[in-house]
Amino acid sequence: MMDASDARLLIELQRRADITAQDLGAILNLSPSQAARRRARLEAQGVIAGYGARLDPTRLGLSVQAFVQVQMSAHSADNAASFVRLVASLPQIVGCWTLTGEADYLLRVWVSDLPALNDLIHHRLLPHPAVARVQSQIVMDQPKPDSGLPVWV
């Protein structure tokens, strides 16, 4: 069972995964060792699945973010597995979801420029034998940056 301190701990970790037990304890009104034990318990329970760093895409030379919808021409387990393997092999694709509706997959991609997006779509995605159609939307701005999951008790 999670209590209000666990919820606050998760919110803080989503804001700053490198927070020390000392700082976390101060925020939660707990000792550093109590805060560390709570964190360890939530990790052991699998509530905290891992930690990562947020990188600045522009400093990595990535200036174009896009969402790419992919519609499959044939829906078989082999085609889906083959397409998912392709997606997993392309580092430009940073997220992939299967969908209901017209598109079968939604891909979130980061590339250096429009020619790189064109190359990804026309030379990597469209040639896949099970892909029927690809539609892309280029992100113009992101008014709300990626954030953590909502946490309630």
Q: What is the pLDDT of residues 20-59, one digit of tens each?
A: 999 999 999 999 999 999 999 999 999 999 999 999 999 9
- Comparing 112 with 54, the larger pLDDT belongs to 112
Q: Are residues 36 and 63 located together in one domain of the fold? A: no
| Residue 68, SS3 per DSSP | strand
Does 153 score more than 80 pLDDT? Answer: no
pLDDT > 90 in the chain, percent: 95
CATH for 33:
1.10.10
Under the phi-then-psi rule, with left for phi > 0, alpha for psi from -120 to 50, and beta for the rest, what region is 75? beta
Residue range of the domain that includes 64: 57-138
List the Cα angle 44/45/51 in 5-degree steps: 65
Q: Are residues 32 and 94 located together in one domain of the fold? A: no
Q: Are residues 124 and 82 located together in one domain of the fold? A: yes
Number of domains in the chain: 2
pLDDT, mean of residues 108-124: 98
**pLDDT value for 99:** 96
Does 1 score more than 90 pLDDT? Answer: no
Whether 61 maps to a domain, the answer reads yes
Q: Are residues 85 and 108 located together in one domain of the fold? A: yes
**pLDDT value for 23:** 98
β-bridge pairing 64-72 and 131-138: antiparallel
Q: Are residues 36 and 61 located together in one domain of the fold? A: no
E strands, the chain, where? Answer: 64-72, 93-98, 105-111, 131-138
Mean pLDDT score of the chain, rounded to an integer?
Answer: 96
Q: Are residues 82 and 129 located together in one domain of the fold? A: yes
Whether 51 maps to a domain, the answer reads no
pLDDT, mean of residues 69-77: 94
Q: Are residues 28 and 74 located together in one domain of the fold? A: no
pLDDT, mean of residues 110-138: 98
* Cβ atoms within 10 Å of 60's Cβ, excluding its own: 10
Q: Are residues 130 and 87 located together in one domain of the fold? A: yes
Name 68's Cβ contacts closer than 8 Å, sequence gap at least 6.
106, 107, 108, 109, 120, 121, 125, 134, 135, 136, 137
